[in-house]
Amino acid sequence: MRTRQVRAIALTLMLTGTLLGACSSGGGSSRTIEVDSNFDEFAGTFRAFFPRDVTVKPGMTLKFHQKWSGEPHTVTMGKEVQDRIEPEMLPLILRSTSKEPSDDEQFSDEVNAAVEKFFGELPFFFGEKGPNPPVAQPCYLKTGLPEEGKACPKQAQPAFAGTESYFNSGFIPYEGTSGNEFEMKIADDAKPGTYFYYCALHGAGMSGQIKVTKSGAVPSQASLNKQARKEIAEVAKPLLAGLKKEQAGNGAIKGNLAGSGDESLNGVKGQVNEFTPRTVRAKVNETVKWSFISNHSISFNVPPYIPIYKVKSGKVTGNDKVYEPAGGWPGRPEPTAEDEGPPVPSVDVDAGKFDGSGGLKSSGVDWQTGDTYSVTFTKPGTYPMACLIHPGMIGKVVVS
């Protein structure tokens, strides 16, 4: 079994959380589900599948179309997964995407036991041995579960029949010939039933259900798109309201912000990835301070996109270019024994003077809400900035 700390992380992940054209009404050989999403009023991460539930027939193809926000996703299912979905978990997993569950749903003995079983027995990306290859890479097994830390044998993807013990897409690639797309053929002889699937990085809270039926019509792509838009709006509404409060200076944390949100959004399956304001104006030799909300980076002279994980040849590793501070800038100091909490005290870190030169300059990641980061700009000009985790999170400092 996992430690209590890992179980707590697992429970936290469970709580977090433009569509393609439609096929002809009731027909078509494929259906598309959106993985994550984009929203026109803010950059963000949506930790959900849209729509959550879909009905298909044997022989059809499901297309999982990823809207890349910087955070990888998987489509993970199979009999070993299905066997660990306890009834006590379902209200928590299949709840509304924008409302925090009740204490009874989160913290009852039955729910805790079900959560521990699910995350303690199934492969999870953040494993005890570090990033887990059979989660990050495709894995299709007829029996049993993959061994933690060991990649599955490379093989052609089979059609999904409902009899597989473990069926995992691996990280849906963000680029390449199959970039942002995972296609799953439903076998012609697929067993009718309802199959639970989830993202093995973000946890069971990012999940959905596939119903396979042999009889009757199945919902058209147009109807799926309509339901998806409804579910996306449900997630986006409270996130946008929180962002607007911060933009008006009425958020829980004042001043320049790297990130968005407060405790009222804990149950929402998504987050806003924005600098507020996007444009900061300063004078030469003025120090600019940002407060972190959640985990982001403050980075300048950013190169072309850097993935946060490197997945290759049976191995998966965190990318130090993202995680570690760069260019001589300081990262978050390691907590002392007195600081280990909980809660861990916030820190104030000063990166010193910056004139725009010297290549990539970055705070690194592993920050927590309430930490601050300061930079003193010594030359006039425009300094573009970004978060290395979330490529849509951009801003600039204009110095005069």
Number of domains in the chain: 2
Estimate the crossing angle of helix 109-121 against helix 4-15, to 10 degrees.
100
* 385 shares a domain with 282: yes
Largest CA distance in the chain: 71
- pLDDT of 22 higher than 70: no
* 29 shares a domain with 170: yes
d(CA 133, CA 150): 6
Residue appearing with tokens 């946890």: 203
Tens digit of pLDDT for each residue in 267-307? 899 999 999 999 999 999 999 999 999 999 999 999 988 88
Kind and range of the H or E run holding 127: strand 126-127
Neighbours of 87 (CB within 10 A): 8
Tell me the pLDDT band of 325, cut-offs 50, 70 and 90.
very high
pTM of the model: 0.88
* 283 shares a domain with 216: no
Residue 25, pLDDT score: 38
- pLDDT of 138 higher than 60: yes
Tens digit of pLDDT for each residue in 75-120? 999 999 999 988 777 777 766 555 555 555 556 777 778 888 888 8
Residue 80 in contact with residue 145, Cβ under 8 Å?
A: yes
Mean pLDDT, the chain, whole residue set = 88
Residue 33 lies in a domain: yes
Residue 101, pLDDT score: 58
Residue 232 in contact with residue 52, Cβ under 8 Å?
A: no
Neighbours of 376 (CB within 10 A): 17
Residue 323 lies in a domain: yes
Tens digit of pLDDT for each residue in 166-201? 999 999 998 877 789 999 999 999 999 999 999 999
Residue 60 in contact with residue 51, Cβ under 8 Å?
A: no
Average confidence (pLDDT) over 241-270: 94
More confident residue, 321 or 87: 321
Residue 256 lies in a domain: no
d(CA 274, CA 295): 12
* 189 shares a domain with 52: yes
CATH, residue 123: 2.60.40.420
Question: Going by DSSP bridges, is the β-strand pair 299-300/361-362 parallel, antiparallel, or unpaired?
Answer: antiparallel
Q: Is the dihedral of CA 40, 45, 46, 50 positive or negative?
A: positive
Alpha carbon separation from 242 to 69, 265, 291 (Å, rounded): 19, 8, 16
- pLDDT of 67 higher than 50: yes
- pLDDT of 337 higher than 70: no
Average confidence (pLDDT) over 219-244: 96
What domain range is 329 assigned to? 278-399
Question: Going by DSSP bridges, is the β-strand pair 394-399/181-185 parallel, antiparallel, or unpaired?
Answer: unpaired
